[in-house]
Amino acid sequence: MTRLWNEPAAFADEMIDGFVAANGRYVRRIPGGVARATTSPAGQVAVVVGGGSGHYPAFGGLVGPGLAHAAAMGNLFASPSTQQVYGAAKAADNGGGVFFTYGNYAGDVLNFDAAEQRLRDEGIDARTVTVTDDISSAPVAQRRRRRGIAGDLTVFRAAAAAAERGDDLDGVARVAALANERTRSFGVAFTGCTLPGAEDPLFTVAEGRMAVGLGIHGEQGIDETDIPTADGLAEMLVAALLDPAEVPEGVASVSGARVVPVLNGLGSLKYEEMFVVYRRIAQLLEGAGIEIVDPHVGEYCTSFDMAGTSLTLYWLDDQLAALWEHPVDTPAYRRGAVTATERVSASAIEAEAEATDEIPDADDSSRATAQTVRLAVTAIAETIDAHVDELGRLDAVAGDGDHGIGMQRGSHAARAAADAAADAGAGAATTLQRAADAWADRAGGTSGALWGVMLAAIARTLGDTGTPTAADVAAGVSAASRAVTDYGKAELGDKTLVDALVPFATTLAHGVDGGASLSAAWRSAAVAADRAATATADLLPRKGRARTHGEHAVGTPDPGAVSLALITAAVADVLASASEKGTPS
């Protein structure tokens, strides 16, 4: 269990601050996470990694000469926001383009892709290779859907070494894709992990039992079995990874192949235990005729305090073998001798600081509507506070249990931003846009990204002049629905918030088109959203982390759909009150 924290919501930020304070030789604090404290050659491709916190030494611990140029660091088990990824990329950019690589999780993909597009819009070239090494998360035929676990290390190292030797952006991407194709991992867990402030672990395993095929965000395994001996576990891990279907294309024969084995601890397993397991792993690999290269036993990608381990096999060819020898010097990972470089100057750091945006002009009508927006955002935050534990419980059934916490962080940040904007005289559009940006930035994860998209779409229809009509609001909600499906790629029936959002948007539009007031149409739409959210209990998830453990989710409604329904009901009360008082809604 986690014993030391101040405010759970501040844990990730305080952890990063402490990490930087302890490792100033290597890293500096940036808006999105951390970047190298030393300079890099002009024109060199910038390798930017990242993901949620709780995985140390991934991701900040791998920033430094020979490895990543920067890491975007989200909240615990939540992807960094688009703003954080963008901030990390801007801090790392050397003029040679930006290369993103990270584990293949829905929230990370959403936010990194959005940041990549933003860079491209500014004329900065960018590429991405997601890590898909976990064999338990999808069959071989669907390798692109697999998630990334400890195999991050091999892909990150290959990409960074290629960048350091002077490869261009396309060359770095090709090397990273090859490294990913030649990396396979498989893991087990004996206990779940407990996040700061939580009373219970995200999942439990009965005494004497072991979860098989776990993820690194507290997800349950795909199977469960009795805990074997150390030798028995080694045999299970090796057998899974040497299955002929899992041997990468291009490996002509297992016998004679060169492999880097990485036995990774997930947070609480003792090194001595892992050494006992690795003893047998080495015997088995050698018995198969494999040449073992630079074996790794330790913690490389953890899951907070989870007791478990994973085995990664990295199948080398001549190119990857040469890149593997490139020296690395980071806070948590060192190989060889790295030539010292200059530190980033104070003036350069100051130039990176973002200027505060001025509040756009607004008229009195829009400022009055902004007060209703503020009340709505406040009601959202209060509603999430009232249901945070239940939303976390729903998410823990087949996810990682952080939906309630993430929604709480996002809604509280949105409320603070809306209050600040309204107090500064902002109009309705600016007030809601500031709330959207703050939500996406602080919540992280898939839900944070999607709520930022939704609120921003609605904001664009409100304007900062005049009073928006019911049709304007309905058009904004419809635009939000389209944006979410375009951005997140989920469809009706996938068991996501889309299953509640689409009926909500459709019902609202029909009500307004039929002549109903915004308050009345919104109330009817909220009822439709609630009904649709409840119905998701019968669905099998086809998107997101829950997809891997879909059968566990049948019988439980989707937490994203439930939180959306709760929010629409809360906003309905605000609109009803505004209508009764005759204030703009």
Q: Which amino acid is at 32?
A: G
DSSP one-letter string for 303-338? -TTBEEEEEEEEEE-HHHHHHHTS-EE-SS-EES-P
481/117 Cα distance (integer angstroms) = 20
* The residue count for the chain: 585
Q: Which amino acid is at 125?
A: D
451/433 Cα distance (integer angstroms) = 11
| 3-state secondary structure at position 142 | helix
Residue 362: partners with Cβ closer than 8 Å, 6 or more residues away: 370, 425, 426, 427, 428, 430, 464, 465
157/327 Cα distance (integer angstroms) = 10
| 3-state secondary structure at position 306 | strand
Q: Which one of the listed residues 69, 217, 296, 549 is annotated catalytic?
A: 217
Of 135, 143, 32, which Cα lies nearest the Cα of 92? Answer: 32
447/454 Cα distance (integer angstroms) = 10
403 included as an active-site residue: no
556/554 Cα distance (integer angstroms) = 6
Residue 78: partners with Cβ closer than 8 Å, 6 or more residues away: 52, 107, 402, 406, 443, 444, 445, 448
Q: Residue 319 corresponds to which tokens in the numbers above? A: 């190119």
Residues recognised as catalytic: 217
